[in-house]
Amino acid sequence: MTGLCTGRVAVVTGAGRGLGRAHALAFAAEGARVVVNDLGVGLDGTGGTAGPAQRVADEIRALGGEAVAHGGDITTDAGAASLVTTALETYGRLDALVNNAGFLRDRMLVNLEEDAWDTVVRVHLKGHFLPLKHAAAHWRAEAKEGRVPEARVINTSSGAGLLGSVGQGNYSAAKAGIIALTLVAAAELGRYGVQVNAIAPAARTRMTERTFAETMTAPEDGGFDAMAPENVSPLVVWLGSVASAGVTGRVFASEGGRITVMEGWRPGPTIDKGARWTPAEAGEATLKLLAAAAAPQPVYGAR
């Protein structure tokens, strides 16, 4: 490894398993000291144990790195505040925040219960907002004292947030919200030395194994495992390092060996009458615009 993050402190939420664990290990391998957060809940968000976070922290230390476990609930203000406090009290600084925690409660819209909506939006969207808020408050205070940080935030969206996903209205809405939150945070926090980006990863985890059941198996011949979560982590570590200076407000898709800059909503074909349309005129004009526009991408996961 190159020591890309030597001297830096990274916080990773949802780091007990899957992508979060891979990110935590990758940061540590590049010299970062890591706060490993995980509530230890099941795939649907029920239960909870400090075991997963502690195991990853122990794994990092066994490999010669530095890590501390944090089992707090980052969807609460107190839990998110204690996450930042843990980094500052343990290592004296905070340089990178990777928001990754989440779980699923999939249902078709007509069967989606209110609690399943609220719970999934809470863990994904609020679980990004609160750690970001408390980390940003620290970095702003540092900047105002003349110690402008080289701080980095990497948020975790999804192809479902970019394109939608059948049976995942709650998850897709939350992941789309994370992209908007990323853009706002990048614009607001740049003056304090904070860069904010988002990734839309595709990898084999507990959350995706059912979605990609036909393509998620690891190769049996020892070849390149395109769906391994470790494939996403190099980009996350680079975004969390000082080497990514100047990169902010971006969304990156990452799958296997492929990295894509997602370009988001941009103005397409347009017509300006210069006056109010009638409904019939608006419809006729819209059909002309659609004929000239690019076809929409299929819903995420569709074949």
Q: What average pLDDT does the chain have?
A: 92
Q: Exactly one of 126, 157, 172, 175 is catalytic; name it.
A: 175
- The vertex-157 CA angle with 154 and 162, nearest 5°, equals 135
CA neighbor of 6 nearest in space, from 90, 92, 66, 86: 66
| String of DSSP letters for 113-127 | -HHHHHHHHIIIIIH
Mean pLDDT over 152-176 rounds to 95
> How confident is residue 204, by pLDDT bands cut at 50, 70 and 90?
confident
Model confidence at 12: pLDDT above 50: yes
Model confidence at 212: pLDDT above 90: no
Instruction: Please name the residues in contact with 230: beta carbons below 8 A apart, sequence gap of 6 or more.
Output: 22, 25, 26
> How confident is residue 213, by pLDDT bands cut at 50, 70 and 90?
very low
Q: Exactly one of 82, 126, 165, 171 is catalytic; name it.
A: 171
Determine what percent of the chain is predicted with pLDDT higher than 90: 83
8-state DSSP, 34: E
| Run of H or E residues at 36 | strand 33-37
- 91 labelled catalytic: no
- pTM beyond 0.75: the answer is yes
> How confident is residue 99, by pLDDT bands cut at 50, 70 and 90?
very high
What are the chain's domains?
9-262 (3.40.50.720)
> How confident is residue 217, by pLDDT bands cut at 50, 70 and 90?
low
Looking only at the bridges linking them, the beta strands covering 33-37 and 194-202 are unpaired
- 82 labelled catalytic: no
- 133 labelled catalytic: no
Q: How far separated are the first and last CA of the chain, in Å rounded? A: 38
> How confident is residue 214, by pLDDT bands cut at 50, 70 and 90?
very low
Model confidence at 45: pLDDT above 80: no
CA–CA gap between residue 170 and residue 179 (Å, rounded): 15
AA identity, residue 55: R
Mean pLDDT over 244-252 rounds to 98
> How confident is residue 2, by pLDDT bands cut at 50, 70 and 90?
confident
C-beta of residue 160 within 8 angstroms of C-beta of residue 172: yes
Q: Exactly one of 158, 233, 244, 254 is catalytic; name it.
A: 158
Mean pLDDT over 43-47 rounds to 52
